[in-house]
Amino acid sequence: MKFTTLLASAAMALGLATSAMAEDKTKVGFVYVGPVGDGGWTYEHDKGRLAVEEHFGDKVETVFVESVPEGPDAERVMTQMALDGADLIFTTSFGYMDPTINVAKKFPNVKFEHATGYKTADNVSVYSARFYEGRAVQGHIAGKMTESNIIGYIGSYPIPEVIRGINSAYLHAKAVNPDVEFKIVWAYTWFDPAKEADAATVLIEQGADVILQHTDSTAPQAAAQEAGNVVTFGQASDMSEYAPFPRVSSIIDNWAPYYIARTQAVMDGSWETVNTWDGIREGMVEIGEISDRVPADVKEEALAMKAAMAAGEYHPFTGPINKQDGSVWLAEGEVADDGTLAGMNFYVEGLEGEIPQ
């Protein structure tokens, strides 16, 4: 055997060995709607990704693409990830729902996980958190703390997840402050700091002294800080850089345990389509530290409510609750079922304005 042939076959063997080793790694892809540095929604998903890397070490490889617009672009990004050998792909925004289903059809061997959606397939699971539980706590604090009785709410898109949050916050603000009024502004974006700040400023100019946001950046916090005496809550992430004031508490999404469990399932071959919707009890939704600017008794009540939800004793949507048009939704003591909540497309009684269709 010639020396060069020997060398070539050795190189080939080596090449095979390394590629075999590479195949051992489970490749996990993440598609993000904003930049990983948004300080909110995407930041928390990326923390989950980093937790996966830390947990599995050499056994996984993670990839992510940030700031992917919802729409055809998302499909392109997912397809590319699947072609590059991803075994599991997390698509982390509501608007990725149909793209995820479309791409999943083309790659039956790749597992997909879509956040906050409701369409599943043989290789598509959905997962979300019961953010509305956190909204209940926020609503309680907001209702107690507002002096102008006007609470501003920055909505992103009129989808069930956001509407649930508005309803939950309103019901619990109203419960402690019957005079409270919600002003809702739809920004039609998940991430646009300038627009989010404008929306917050507009709400403050129209008298709101509490701002709740369902958009991803910390810009509304900055606008509130600028205005002075306005209360805010961290959204999706703790946003503790604005604590103790204006940010008095927050909803934190903790995706890490779920991401680790699902990656493990792919490794074991035990992955199945699931529909996960976890809340405070399971630890997917956390309440960020309630700052000292909240009166002690209000803080205590808020923590008690959180504890009751964690123990499964209290559901934020417990009757009697009427719909906006006055018709009965939940009778006395009745608890909302998950199906209605998942597709929630109506305001509860007392909220003004119409939901954009």
Partner 1 sequence: MDLGEINPVLLIASLMVAATPLLLAAIGELVVEKAGVLNLGVEGMMIVGAISGFAISVETGSPWLGFIAAAIGGAVLSLLFVLLTQVALANQVASGLALTLFGLGFSALMGQGYVGIKPPDMADIHIPVISDIPVIGPILFQHDPILYLGIALTAAVWATLKYTRVGLILRAVGENHDAAHALGYKVIKIRILAILFGGACAGLGGAYISLIRVPQWTEGMTAGVGWIALALVVFASWKPWRALLGAYLFGGITVLQLNLQAAGVAIPVEYLAMSPYIITILVLVILSADKSSAPASLGRTFHASH
* Binding region for partner 1 (CB under 8 A): 34-39, 67, 152, 158, 183-189, 191-195, 197-199, 201-203, 205-207, 217-219, 221-223, 225-226, 239, 241-242, 352-354, 356-357
Q: Count CB-CB contacts under 10 A for residue 270.
A: 8
For partner 1, give the closer residue by CB, 18 or 229.
229
Take residue 336 and report the two structure tokens written for it: 């909302």
| CA 213 – CA 142 distance, rounded (Å) | 12
Burial class for 20, CB neighbours closer than 10 Å (0-12, 13-18, 19+): exposed
Q: Least distance to partner 1 from the beta carbon of 196, Å?
A: 8
For partner 1, give the closer residue by CB, 35 or 319.
35
For partner 1, give the closer residue by CB, 158 or 283.
158
Residue 250 sits at the vertex; the CA angle it makes with 293 and 320, to the nearest 5 degrees, is 100
Q: What is the DSSP string of 103-123?
A: HHHH-TTSEEEEET----BTT
Q: Least distance to partner 1 from the beta carbon of 88, Å?
A: 26
For partner 1, give the closer residue by CB, 173 or 330.
173
Residues 307, 269: contact at Cβ < 8 Å?
A: no
> Residue 280: CB partners within 8 Å, gap ≥ 6?
130, 133, 134, 286, 287, 306, 309, 310
For partner 1, give the closer residue by CB, 38 or 87.
38
Q: Least distance to partner 1 from the beta carbon of 29, Å?
A: 19
Q: Least distance to partner 1 from the beta carbon of 327, Å?
A: 21
Q: Least distance to partner 1 from the beta carbon of 147, Å?
A: 17
Q: Least distance to partner 1 from the beta carbon of 38, Å?
A: 6
For partner 1, give the closer residue by CB, 101 or 185.
185
Residues 165, 132: contact at Cβ < 8 Å?
A: yes
| CA 354 – CA 346 distance, rounded (Å) | 9
For partner 1, give the closer residue by CB, 201 or 291.
201
Q: Least distance to partner 1 from the beta carbon of 216, Å?
A: 9
| Nearest Cα to Cα of residue 46 among 68, 69, 28, 30 | 30
Backbone angles phi, psi at 209, to 5 degrees: -120, 5
| CA 127 – CA 110 distance, rounded (Å) | 17
